[in-house]
């Protein structure tokens, strides 16, 4: 069964600190993995997209990693800012099938 599991479910950290969000998936055959950021009251916005051949991709203070062997991805946020408070959703697409599977998200809160 194609599944995407994210952890932790929620996280609170102080402004300026780093954090890492995890995503494990069982989607097969794998096509690509995306991380989205969803601010409260808004639609998700893409942060990164990675295929099986990519290990790391950065977008400013956001760095995503992908281990296609263990089917794990992480999103690392460096020097967090208050504006990073949002839900972060891991999305995995299956190749050759009409499926995009969404994780349930990690709700991140940055405290001053």
Interface residues toward another protein, by CB under 8 A: 31-32, 34, 41-46, 49-52, 54, 89, 91, 93, 95-98, 100, 102-105
- Residue 106 beta carbon to another protein: minimum distance, rounded to whole angstroms: 11
Q: How far is the CB of 71 from another protein (least distance, A)?
A: 16
Beta carbon nearer to another protein, 80 or 105: 105
Between the CA atoms of 92, 28, 10 and 88, what dihedral angle is there, to the nearest 10 degrees?
-10
Strand partners, 33: 50, 92
Minimum separation from the CB atom of position 80 to another protein (A): 23
Question: For residues 70 and 98, which CB has a smaller minimum distance to another protein in the complex?
Answer: 98
48, 62 contact by CB (below 8 A): yes
Residue 88's contacts (CB-CB under 8 Å, 6 or more residues apart) are 6, 21, 35, 36, 37, 38, 47, 75, 105, 106, 108
Least distance in Å: CB of 104 to another protein? 5
Q: Residue 47 in contact with residue 75, Cβ under 8 Å?
A: yes
């Amino acid at each position: 069964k194609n599944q995407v599991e994210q952890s932790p479910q929620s996280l609170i950290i102080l402004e300026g600190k780093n954090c890492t969000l995890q995503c494990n998936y069982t989607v097969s055959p794998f096509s690509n993995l995306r991380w989205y950021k969803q601010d409260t009251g808004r639609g998700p916005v893409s942060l990164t997209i990675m295929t099986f051949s990519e290990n790391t991709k950065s977008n400013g203070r956001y760095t995503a990693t992908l281990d296609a062997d263990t089917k794990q991805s992480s999103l690392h946020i460096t020097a967090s800012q208050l504006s990073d408070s949002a839900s972060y959703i891991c999305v995995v697409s299956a190749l050759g099938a009409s499926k995009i599977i969404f994780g349930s998200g990690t709700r991140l809160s940055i405290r001053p």
